[in-house]
Amino acid sequence: MVKKFIDEESGKVVEEKVMNAITIDCVIFGFDQGKLEVLLVEHGSGISKGKWGLPGGWIKEDESIDNAAHRVLQELTGIEDLYLEQLKAFGDPKRFPLGRVITIGYYALIKKADYDVKAGFTASDAKWYTMDQVKDLIYDHNEILSYSLKHLRNRVRQAPIGFNLLPEKFTLLQIMQLYQEVLNIELDKPNFRRKILKMKLLVDLKEKEKNVSHRAAKLYKFDPEIYKQLTDKGFNFEI
Amino acid sequence: MVKKFIDEESGKVVEEKVMNAITIDCVIFGFDQGKLEVLLVEHGSGISKGKWGLPGGWIKEDESIDNAAHRVLQELTGIEDLYLEQLKAFGDPKRFPLGRVITIGYYALIKKADYDVKAGFTASDAKWYTMDQVKDLIYDHNEILSYSLKHLRNRVRQAPIGFNLLPEKFTLLQIMQLYQEVLNIELDKPNFRRKILKMKLLVDLKEKEKNVSHRAAKLYKFDPEIYKQLTDKGFNFEI
DNA sequence: TAGTATTGTAGTCAAATATACTATAAGTTA
DNA sequence: TAACTTATAGTATATTTGACTACAATACTA
């Protein structure tokens, strides 16, 4: 690991405390068949070869951290527009075995049904894991993952971000199952319907789901514009 | 700004993208006479001489980010135990005029009445500002400050952290005024009393305030142990 | 084609909570 | 002692939540 560096102007070696290696690591959440999933990658080389971890990368000199995260995700998944939010920085001096590396954790929510996320992966393998399938990850990635889940559980109740895990068009039951899974709670169907419809946040698409072996449910979509108008009027999303 | 560095093993100059200068900046909140305040420092030297900004410092090679933040605050204020939480990392490539510096923002809540916070400041001057007194700060510190205020407003409603801004012993009116100030809302006295007392979170100290020119109010304190017991039973703090 | 299973959707009712008040007590100050 | 300020108790109404019942619509299957 790098420990000394050169000051460009003076040419002298500068104290090592100023500089740090810094990376991005991203928790990519998906939702499939009622289960919350996370996308992990297998490391193809280096000391952690064969182990699984969060997808990540370096921050370039001329890009913002958010841009770096977007770029890394775009390279990995091919998806341009996804929900992406910074979690926090993780910087235990021993988190990376070969030296001091600070990482900035992000989490992303993607509409798994609408994309083939693994398209962008090349050398290393990538795989979806349900939360209880996740075992030992490299470095402190288990900590980052559990922190992000905790964070997601808070955020999902305060802001309408859960929709980013569902297809563009969804049924009320799908949202409810999403909340049940993410928050690990049981919800009452009629009560949940009433609560979410009363917000007047969802657009009734006047369509019904197809190819289901039961009575087809109405399809809705989430409209960010409507949400903005509501919040401007003082509306506060809460589940 | 430093742009190249040496790999210790090979002795070669390594690509510059890997390393970054990284700092801590801390928003220190206080509460005095019904007003939320923030502690700013005047820069005594360098390109930002004479300007005001958030207190900050470098992260050392062998300390965690949290420890760095604690150390920086301890050096500045002399206070060991204060409420300190990481906000997020700020990394716009242009945020620092002389080169790429990523900063990790923290915010702290201190019991202003119980300490003389400015004791630790030496060279540079330090001063408390109410939120509306804050003008142009250096770099992106206005952004960090406004982000931290937004974050505080969310957190203060979800967790009993507001008490960290009050003296050890406080009255119900003091808490209420704190919430009114931080959240910028009006509250009803009897209703607020009932709500907070019903939580059974506060310890009645069987004491009354002194030297007040009106009927003295009962004093209470916040007990983290009680809060822990309540949360273990499923209690959820919410204002 | 009748029956059964599954999910969607509407409605009811009591309990809990929030909100807007009024009233009074206990002090301080003039 | 009167006027004033703040603490504290209480009340009445609206709103929300939670548990539950009922029934409609559709698909499958015997």
What pLDDT band is residue B68 in, cutting at 50, 70 and 90?
Answer: very high
Which residue is closest, via its CA, to the C1' of C11? A190
The CATH architecture one would assign to domain B5-158 is Alpha-Beta Complex (3.90)
Contacts (Cβ under 8 Å, ≥6 apart) of B26: B54, B55, B56, B69, B72, B73, B84, B105, B106, B107, B108
What mean pLDDT comes out for the span A79-92? 93
Task: Look at residue A9 in the predicted model and tell me its pLDDT.
Answer: 38
Q: What is the DSSP letter of A192?
A: H
Packed helices B172-183 and B141-158: angle between N→C axes, nearest 10 degrees: 130
Do the domains at A5-158 and A166-232 have one common CATH topology? no
Q: Which bases of chain D are contacted by protein, using any atom under 7 A from a CB?
A: 4-11, 17-22, 24-28
Q: Are strands B19-32 and B56-58 parallel, antiparallel or unpaired?
A: antiparallel
What mean pLDDT comes out for the span B9-30? 69
Residue A201 predicted with pLDDT over 60: yes
Percent of chain B scored above 70 by pLDDT? 88
Partners of A36 in beta bridges: A31
Task: Look at residue A49 in the predicted model and tell me its pLDDT.
Answer: 79
In chain B, where the domains are located: 5-158, 166-232
Task: Look at residue B8 in the predicted model and tell me its pLDDT.
Answer: 41
What pLDDT band is residue A119 in, cutting at 50, 70 and 90?
Answer: low
Q: What is the DSSP letter of A124?
A: S
Mutating which of B5, B12, B104, B156 best tests the A interface, going by the most A Cβ atoms within 10 A?
Answer: B5
Task: Look at residue A19 in the predicted model and tell me its pLDDT.
Answer: 62
What pLDDT band is residue B12 in, cutting at 50, 70 and 90?
Answer: very low
Nucleotide of closest approach to A210 (CA, C1'): D26
What pLDDT band is residue A7 in, cutting at 50, 70 and 90?
Answer: very low
Residue B10 predicted with pLDDT over 60: no
What pLDDT band is residue A11 in, cutting at 50, 70 and 90?
Answer: very low
> Out of A15-24, A72-81, A157-166, B147-156, which region has the weakest mean confidence (pLDDT)?
A15-24
What mean pLDDT comes out for the span B82-95? 96
> Count of H helices and E strands in chain A?
5, 11
Task: Look at residue B121 in the predicted model and tell me its pLDDT.
Answer: 58
Task: Look at residue A64 in the predicted model and tell me its pLDDT.
Answer: 95
Packed helices B189-198 and B172-183: angle between N→C axes, nearest 10 degrees: 110
What mean pLDDT comes out for the span A208-230? 93
Residues 206-225 of B with CB under 8 A from A: none
Give the pLDDT confidence of A151-192 residue by residue, as tens digits: 999 999 999 999 999 999 999 999 999 999 999 999 999 999
Q: Are strands A83-90 and A35-42 parallel, antiparallel or unpaired?
A: unpaired
Classify residue B76 by burial, with Cβ atoms within 10 Å: 0-12, 13-18, 19+.
buried
Tokens of A10: 């003076």
Q: Which of B1 and B125 is assigned the larger pLDDT?
A: B125
Q: Which CATH number fits domain B166-232: 3.40.50.1240, 1.10.10.10, 3.60.20.10, 2.60.40.3710?
A: 1.10.10.10
Across chain B, mean pLDDT equals 88
Residues 143-202 of B with CB under 8 A from A: 154, 158
Task: Look at residue A105 in the predicted model and tell me its pLDDT.
Answer: 98
Q: Which of A116 and B189 is assigned the larger pLDDT?
A: B189
Q: How far is B80 from chain A (nearest CA, A)?
A: 20
Q: What are the CB-based long-range contacts (under 8 Å, 24+) for A48-51?
A: A48/A138, A48/A139, A51/A136, A51/A137, A51/A138
Q: Which of B43 and B104 is assigned the larger pLDDT?
A: B104
What pLDDT band is residue A6 in, cutting at 50, 70 and 90?
Answer: very low
Interatomic CA distance for residues B145 and B106, integer angstroms: 10
Task: Look at residue A16 in the predicted model and tell me its pLDDT.
Answer: 43
What pLDDT band is residue B124 in, cutting at 50, 70 and 90?
Answer: low
Task: Look at residue B3 in the predicted model and tell me its pLDDT.
Answer: 43
Rounded to whole angstroms, the distance from the CA of residue B222 to the C1' of nucleotide C13 is: 39
Q: How far is B26 from chain A (nearest CA, A)?
A: 14
> Out of A7-11, B19-23, B38-42, B74-78, which region has the weakest mean confidence (pLDDT)?
A7-11
Residues of B in Cβ contact (< 8 Å) with A86: 88-89
What mean pLDDT comes out for the span B34-54? 87
> Out of A12-21, A90-99, B45-54, B93-102, which region has the weakest mean confidence (pLDDT)?
A12-21
A12 part of contact set with chain B, CB < 8 Å:
no
Strand boundaries in chain A, DSSP class E? 4-6, 13-14, 19-32, 35-42, 52-53, 56-58, 83-90, 101-109, 126-130, 202-208, 218-222
Task: Look at residue B145 in the predicted model and tell me its pLDDT.
Answer: 98
Q: Are B82 and B161 in contact (CB under 8 A)?
A: no
Task: Look at residue B11 in the predicted model and tell me its pLDDT.
Answer: 44
Residue B16 predicted with pLDDT over 50: no
pTM summary value: 0.90
What pLDDT band is residue B17 in, cutting at 50, 70 and 90?
Answer: very low
Residues of A in Cβ contact (< 8 Å) with B65: 89-91, 102
